[in-house]
Structure 1
């Protein structure tokens, strides 16, 4: 009998003996499951995890991406699947999955939402959502609402069935570049080419405060996973931290040499990742208020992270 203290050498020996027996292939799937569970018990941490071989046969051993949090490279989509073309050919500015993952929503330069079937890749519906080009789209954390923004400064609320229930046509004076919800979904923030970041009461669709401090267009904003902190980046090459409750600017990072196009918190909210037109990705630790690392390698603008 195998014990919970089994290690790879014991398993290898067991397989060698078992393969000599003609009846072994019949029970192989059951034995494989047992051996895998024992191997996981033996593993101390990610360093002891079995390395996946780069062959089609290794697909049976692959676990979901969440199992490889220490190795994000296993989650890369490396296989081209399909191209879908809209009837009205124009630039696609935003792409977003529905919460169920069954459909894809694209926001276009013409102000249209197009819903695509995630399995057949056919379009299911075209909706004239905005009067001007759509620039930002985000789902609430409870997956019940989507908020979108356009080039004219309008912000609109959408239900799961794509019904438009609210609209604020004068939310910003210029293009709404990014949107982000707080963890409770009671508030959300927006940023715009009018140089401001705004905090909104979601239920009333009413502005609570406007944060001024960027000297040029603000291209990206993200709400902290657990706290009332915002991070923003803009055309003035700056990354700024804000207190969402008071509207006070807490800190500015001057590391980038060109427009900051995207800013994101990590899951526990200790780090901020920034992407810029200077072709560099930077990682900041907000506990120490300093840059941890710069990632170089892109040959063109880094537009997302």
Structure 2
């Protein structure tokens, strides 16, 4: 499908996302009204349990607001709000902030859900579907598990019929086919239903497949394995096009690679501390950089094709600009030289935000997830002990939802965790803990904020509403439903008394 402009692309994305939307809030409220009318329920009492109350991250409400109000407006005419429950009904999708490098709405620090793998095998790879509806994970037992991206529940599990080793890496193509590599050096193509397209596998690698990456046009595939040269295949013919070799480069020790999303340039990281850029039209690398002082764990291209990110066992994350092969930023751990706990600190995984391209996340072997920006070298936010509370454990996998509102991580504690930007809860809940209001009015915070009946945000310490400036004379002194009823009754009485009576004219 060819999109005429960016707006049509976002509209198609929104329609695809709305196709699997559950019951909306209006339908639930209308059903509650039918079940409990005013005559049968004069005190507006609702039971605590109406079916299964399952945590969810519903991205559809913000998209509905965008389709209803802002899709035909220009960017400077759209009203943008802070990602906070105080503006829950007015918030916009994350792609509305995609070109704003001074906003950090893509920083996801709230634990939405945590679950355990249904299989006995440990998860060794994970990748979101292209539409963002489901998550695909690969295990050590050659199994593929599917997780729901809305309710985070387990959906299905299938086994790859070819081979039998661990599913070490996954990669989605633009036509919704997934490439799966295993520990036996085999790479196969599966459909979106996880069925084999054919019985032919990509040959050439004999050991564990460490990393695979697709070209910008989805016509070629690059892969690397232990003690093997990186290989580039033609996807249609399954034939090897080229082996990446260099005179002064030990290509047998390449541990990771990434294909540029715009050009035919492949970046590879080596166990000999070097990063190489390869042009597939040439028989030698464009440039080879001594980037780190230890093994390179991961390299990732930015979605704009300009920036290259690398992390290594030397505890450093570096950002490179390939236009002039210049080092832009070096991201260090702040506590690495202060405590013995961080003496063996090592970043294990890095991933870019697919919507806000100036934000990326990194994980380490101490169980922390950190968020950085390309604007400077300082850490934006840190999730301490994201995995392993009693004893820190390494985070091995990290992947962002294509819509940018969820981040998935997996660690040595065998827990699969989903991170979001705000708390998730049912609409029937009476009170939930809200995220601290930090990013409004130049850092003014409300640490004791709470959600009251989905109507207002109040400060528990002072019993005063944060929205008093919007509604003059409306102050809260108690936090119960009876007080709201009294206020509403008084307002109705005042409105009736202040209404001018119609004059009887003959």
TM-score band w.r.t. shorter chain: 0.7 to 0.9
Matched, 1:283 2:319: yes
Aligned to 1:200: 233
2:88 corresponds to which residue? 59
* 1:96 partner SS: strand
Indicate conservation of the 8 Å contact 1:276/1:303, yes or no: no
Equivalent position SS for 1:233: strand
Aligned pairs for 1:1-305 (under 5 A) are: 40-41=76-77, 52=82, 55-69=84-98, 70-71=101-102, 73-129=104-160, 130-143=163-176, 145-166=177-198, 167-168=200-201, 170-213=203-246, 214-215=249-250, 216-297=252-333, 299-305=345-351
> Which is worse superposed, 65-74 or 261-270?
65-74
- Asked whether the 8 Å contact 2:216–2:264 carries over to 1, the reply is no
Q: Which of 1 and 2 has higher RCO (CA within 8 Å, sep 6+)?
A: 2
Classify 1:113/1:39 alpha carbon distance in 2 versus 1 (closer, same or farther; 3 Å): closer
Secondary structure of the structure 1 residue equivalent to 2:348: coil
8 A Cα contact 2:319 2:329, kept in partner: yes
Whether the 8 Å contact between 1:195 and 1:212 is mirrored in structure 2 is: no
SS of 2:165's equivalent in the other structure is coil
Q: TM-score, normalised by structure 2?
A: 0.48
Distance in 2 of aligned mates of 1:293 and 1:91 = 35
Aligned partner of residue 146 in structure 2, secondary structure: strand
Cα deviation, residue 268, structure 1: 2.6
What is the alpha-carbon distance in structure 1 between the residues aligned to residue 152 and residue 304 of structure 2?
A: 35
SS across alignment from 1:84: strand
User: Could you say which structure has the higher strand fraction?
Assistant: 1
Contact 2:81–2:92 (8 Å) recurs in 1: no
| Distance of 1:146 and 1:39 partners within structure 2 | 35
Q: What SS does the aligned partner of 1:162 have?
A: coil
Distance 1:224 1:170 in 2: 23
Runs of 4+ residues over 6 Å off in structure 1 = none
Q: Distance in 1 between matches of 2:261 and 2:189?
A: 22
**Aligned-partner Cα distance in 1 for 2:141–2:97:** 39
CA distance in 1, matches of 2:75, 2:234: 50
Mapped partners of 1:38, 1:195: distance in 2: 52
Residues in 2 aligned to 1:200 and 1:275: alpha-carbon distance in whole angstroms: 27
Partner of 1:14: none
Does the CA contact (< 8 Å) of 1:183 and 1:226 recur in 2? yes
Alignment coverage as a number of residue pairs: 264
Given that 1:271 and 1:285 are in contact with CA atoms closer than 8 Å, whether structure 2 keeps it comes out as yes
Going from structure 1 to structure 2, the CA distance change for 1:110 and 1:192 (only over 3 Å counts) comes to same
